[in-house]
A = this chain, B = another copy of it.
Amino acid sequence: MRMERSLPTRDLTARIDRKEHIGADGDRLVVLDGLELRLAPGTFTCLIGPSGCGKTTTLRILMGLDDEFDGELDPALREARIATVFQEPRLLPWRTVAQNVLLALPRPDLPRVEAALASVGLEGMADRYPAQLSLGQARRVALARAFATEPEVLFLDEPFVSLDEASAGRLRDLLIALWQRRPMKVLMVTHNLREAVRLADRIVFLTERPARVAGVAEVELPRDGRDPEAVSRFAAELARRFPGLAVA
């Protein structure tokens, strides 16, 4: 894997000792309990865990959207240029598709917006409002927005759901291509083990709530040898190694 290492080459670390949510009736709910993550430069990490275990909560903390936790965050995270695909598209409904992408760029750059929209298959939709998109199209706009900003750290929360397999496959390829071109750290939440095997360098498995790291798997398959066959085989092996956590 060739890579121009010009940007931060340090590992980014996050230690979340404890994160509680407060319910409507004031009861406390421990969501994260001693979770440590390390994002190495140029690595692609996947996070897998059961529904409601705290994956989104973890991403929010890493992105600096939630300060109310015990633990320590690498200060470099606060300064890094980050981008994200939230679990829902989160487009501004009162701005057109093109404006939504444009706004996320530090400097206006229309050609880049057009290129980003074309790369996710949305040519000619630049002037629509989000309410006029299908959900899959809206997700693709969110992906285009994240990709267009060329971030140093990219957070993805189940980015490829609501997409047909063909589109999803193309977008996965696009993501890998981008990531190989620029040395960014990627942290992606997914429920799809095969997807994780296909994309990631490391897979972090989380336990049920309160989430802790239940296991870490390095994906040792070469990038150019990840055909469906090999992916299925590796996924099946993981499912054996982490019973109850990974389902092939």
Interface residues of A (CB under 8 A from B): 21, 23-25, 48-52, 55-56, 87-88, 96, 127-129, 132-137, 140, 158, 161-169, 191-193, 244, 247
- Inter-subunit contact B191/A52 (CB<8 Å): no
Q: Given A51-B134, A163-B191, A165-B191, 9 other A-B contacts at CB below 8 A? A: A23-B128, A24-B127, A24-B129, A48-B164, A51-B163, A51-B164, A56-B135, A87-B135, A162-B191
Which residues of B are found within 8 Å of A25, using beta-carbon distances? 127
* Identical chains bound together, number: 2
- Inter-subunit contact A164/B135 (CB<8 Å): no
Complex Cα–Cα for A207 and B48 (A):
33
Which residues of B are found within 8 Å of A52, using beta-carbon distances? 133-134, 136-137
3 residue pairs, one from A and one from B, having the closest CB atoms: A51-B136, A165-B247, A161-B161
Given contacts A23-B128, A164-B247, A191-B165, contact A137 B88 (CB under 8 A): no
Complex Cα–Cα for A67 and B1 (A):
54
Complex Cα–Cα for A161 and B48 (A):
14
Complex Cα–Cα for A21 and B23 (A):
42
Complex Cα–Cα for A87 and B158 (A):
15
Complex Cα–Cα for A25 and B96 (A):
11
Closest partner residue, chain B, to A31 (CB atom): B134
Which residues of B are found within 8 Å of A140, using beta-carbon distances? 51
- A175 → chain B closest CB, angstroms: 16
- Inter-subunit contact B51/A137 (CB<8 Å): yes
Given contacts A23-B128, A128-B24, contact A164 B87 (CB under 8 A): no
Complex Cα–Cα for A127 and B26 (A):
12
Complex Cα–Cα for A161 and B190 (A):
10
Given contacts A52-B137, A137-B51, A140-B51, contact A23 B166 (CB under 8 A): no
- Inter-subunit contact B162/A87 (CB<8 Å): yes
- List, sorted by A's number, 14 A–B pairs whose CB atoms are closer than 8 Å: A21-B132, A23-B128, A24-B127, A51-B140, A51-B164, A52-B133, A52-B134, A88-B135, A158-B161, A161-B162, A163-B191, A164-B247, A165-B247, A166-B247
Which residues of B are found within 8 Å of A191, using beta-carbon distances? 162-165, 168
- A206 → chain B closest CB, angstroms: 10
